[in-house]
Amino acid sequence: MSNIFPKNMLFHFVVLAALLLIVLPMSLDVFRLNLVSKYLTYAFVALGLVMCWGAGGILSLGQGVFFGAGGYCMAMFLKLEAAAADIGCTRAMQEVGECIVQSTPGIPDFMDWASMTQLPFFWLPFNSTFLTVVMIMTVPAAFAFVIGIALFKRRVGGVYFAIITQALASVLSILIIGNAGYIGGFNGITDLRTMNGWDIRTDNAKVIFYFVTVVLLLASLLVSQFVLKGKLGRVLVAVREQEDRVRFSGYDVANFKVFAFCFGAFLAGIGGAMFTLNVGFIHPTFVGIVPSIEFVIFCAVGGRFSLFGAIYGALLVSWAKTVFSEAYPEYWLFAMGALFITVVLVMPEGLAGLYKRYCARWENKILFRRGNAYSTVKSVE
């Protein structure tokens, strides 16, 4: 096991866990903590990108598709519950603002506004908590599987793959916006209130969701580490470097790429579902091109070869976004573009690369009481 979870990895893990489970909850108010929850949901996507982009060299500019898929699955579940609560609404109740009278009670409000009278078939699984969890865990990965099989089996890769995934992100957001009656359209799915009867809008719920998010993220980190440090991770690195050599060592390379892409989509989907819970709504702007590129920037800034780097990257860049856009809202996009260019030009391994260069030595002295235990091998850690 010490191969998979070496001492310095455990050290980083303890530091991160302490930061997320103790330091931040004790030092931030509920509003700020809830913002951190939101940032952490992006970190799921960044973790997935370390797997497909860092290790496997597959740059996806469409992770928003999977983040959105997970987010929408969760939102559809919560929305049905909110809609069911509105059955039996009377004029008198509406006047005091308790609910809204619908011409077809029991269906989500936006469907009613679009004159729909019946729940579309793809909403049916979201009546059940269990099926919702199943959908969150399978729908994003299933999307990725179809895209992956279609592209990787035909050996579409590199920049072509990136462009196609970006186009898909755009297509999905347009599709959502264009189908207001079926999936909420441009307004997204809003006014989510309870989960199995428990109010998700209270401060109490927000703190609990924060901890759930952190625990899931740390678990995802460990699973990713397990996959990357095993032979599969090394095969992915090998594919990134010399795809043909892997093929001529008897591997069906496309299957490994599909796996990495699905794994990334799976994590992104969980992140999306947690996003909906923490923020209380989902919106088509979290599906399209802009968030998809932001996810890549989080990963690049943190360091695409480092799982920890990806998490810190997501936290720091999102925090910078909040601070910066509170002060100068119109300049944030320029700042982020400049940040991305700087990272690509000056520090291709991101913050994790800087850490490795300047701080790893003293860390090793403390942990191992000797110098340079880091290998010179640039695989993935």
For 289-315, the DSSP string reads HHHHHHHHHHHHHH-TT-HHHHHHHHH
In whole angstroms, the minimum distance from the beta carbon of 148 to another protein comes to 12
Among the residue ranges 35-43, 167-175, 237-245, 358-366, the one whose residues contact another protein (CB under 8 A): 237-245
379 binds another protein (CB under 8 A): yes
Among 93, 149, 164, 247, the residue binding another protein under the rule CB under 8 A is 247
Q: Is 245 in the site for another protein (CB under 8 A)?
A: yes
User: Which listed residue (102, 218, 234, 325) binds another protein by CB under 8 A?
Assistant: 234
Instruction: Give whichever of 169 and 238 is closer to another protein, judged by the CB atom.
Output: 238
* 168 Cβ neighbours under 8 A, 6+ residues apart: 62, 65, 147
**For residues 155 and 201, which CB has a smaller minimum distance to another protein in the complex?**
155
Q: Contact 314/298 with Cβ under 8 angstroms?
A: yes
Query: Which residue, 166, 162, 153, 137, is CA-closest to 257?
Result: 153
227 binds another protein (CB under 8 A): yes
Q: Residue holding tokens 């099989």?
A: 149
Give the whole-angstrom CA distance, residue 184 versus residue 181. Answer: 6
Q: Among residue numbers 338 through 377, which ones bind another protein (CB under 8 A)?
A: 375-377
- Selected binder of another protein within 158, 230, 337, 348 (CB under 8 A): 230
Q: Dig out the tokens for 372 from the structure.
A: 């340079």
User: Residues in contact with another protein, total (CB under 8 A)?
Assistant: 29
State how far Cα 289 lies from the chain centre: 14
Q: Using CA atoms, how far apart are residues 40 and 21, in angstroms rounded to an integer?
A: 12
User: Would you count residue 378 as binding another protein (CB under 8 A)?
Assistant: yes
Task: Indicate the SS3 state at residue 261.
Answer: helix
Q: How far is the CB of 12 from another protein (least distance, A)?
A: 21
Phi then psi for residue 73, to 5 deg, are -60, -50
**Shortest distance, position 239 Cβ to another protein, whole Å:** 9
CB of 240 to another protein, least distance (A): 8
Cα 275 from Cα 71, distance rounded (Å): 6
Residue numbers 6-25 binding another protein by CB under 8 A:
none
For binding to another protein (CB under 8 A), which residues are involved? 3, 227, 230-232, 234-235, 237-238, 241-242, 244-253, 255-256, 259, 375-379
